[in-house]
Chain A
């Protein structure tokens, strides 16, 4: 699974990244987490609010720090 956390480096974006990494290791999902801070890269995904979580190229969570429950639901497929 290819997971990207989009955000220009604000606090919420860091929280999101940490949470995603935690869920991945808790559920021992075979996934690759990448943080995207370059605004040009972020723009490509068409999100207007950060932080955002992109799973396999599709924005799944936009504009908020997800709860752990949401992430488990999203990633545990």
Chain B
């Protein structure tokens, strides 16, 4: 038992947290640049270099592995699996499939049409659309790297619960009439389920890594940059005054600021990391991340093409309220996880 714990601890500190990299960058900053990492400038440079490299390494390795798994779950398969599910079971499986089906936000609309047009309840489609950006596999491992495993698992569980409950409410309200009518007349291709060779899966994974890195590298640098500034230049008492644990409005503020923002989860994590180190509540930070990833202005504008305003507003309300609840509960119970 002790041995397993040791191995697990080593894996976590060296592979996920990359303590070796932290030490290496420290040597670089202190001996090459001649700056002390306990001082402001040295500290920010250390944070910036260490965090950027760490996130990029994890990102590339993770995306590769995850894409390989995802190549077994094209949306056609998700649709087929979901077609035979009824009631809340459909929402649960929809939310779970959302975490493993590969798709980028520019495909969310054809996907919505493909699912809904095939007769899946819109609630199931929404469960899928909520969980997909919120809980992807890579973000979970990154959360484990930056915080710890308990927090990562808790994040996944509440994210999926949010997707299931959100979708269920949308089904219960029978809002089908607020979907644009052309969605139901959409064509269906009975796709012969293609089986990919191992090489095709490897190529797919390689392309995913390239695509995603190309898409998110700027967000990561911006995120790490903001994180480094928060980490070393903004006094703790100012941050605590605005976003401290004892401020009830910290969570709503985080959600309100997060919704219009569009960023990848990889970009928001370094900001989250720096904020938590400055004493901001875990719930506040998680709700900010959730608001940024699950609801964003560009994706809402896209969604508006296929659903009427009323459904869109209901969707935003349900998800926001869910994130608020999650934020408050993590702030009050999160102490157990750190």
Contact = CB atoms under 8 A, between A and B. Distances in A.
B299 to A, nearest CB: 12
Nearest to A41: B182
A interface, over-half SS: loop
B111 A43 contact: no
B114 A46 contact: yes
B103 A46 contact: no
Which bracket fits the contact residues of B?
20 to 34
Given A8-B302, A48-B76, A59-B189, A43 B107 contact: no
Contacts of A39: 109-110, 113, 305-306
Interface string A24-49: 00000000000000011011111111
Interface in A42-77: 42-50, 59, 63-64
Which bracket fits the contact residues of A?
10 to 19
B106 A8 contact: yes
B313 interface: no
A43 B183 contact: yes
B187 A44 contact: yes
Given A8-B302, A43-B117, A50 B106 contact: yes
Given A8-B302, A64-B207, A46 B188 contact: yes
B101 to A, nearest CB: 10
26 contacts: A39-B305, A40-B182, A43-B182, A43-B186, A43-B187, A44-B187, A45-B187, A45-B189, A46-B186, A46-B188, A47-B114, A48-B76, A48-B110, A48-B111, A48-B113, A48-B114, A48-B115, A49-B74, A49-B75, A49-B107, A49-B110, A50-B107, A50-B110, A63-B74, A64-B204, A64-B207
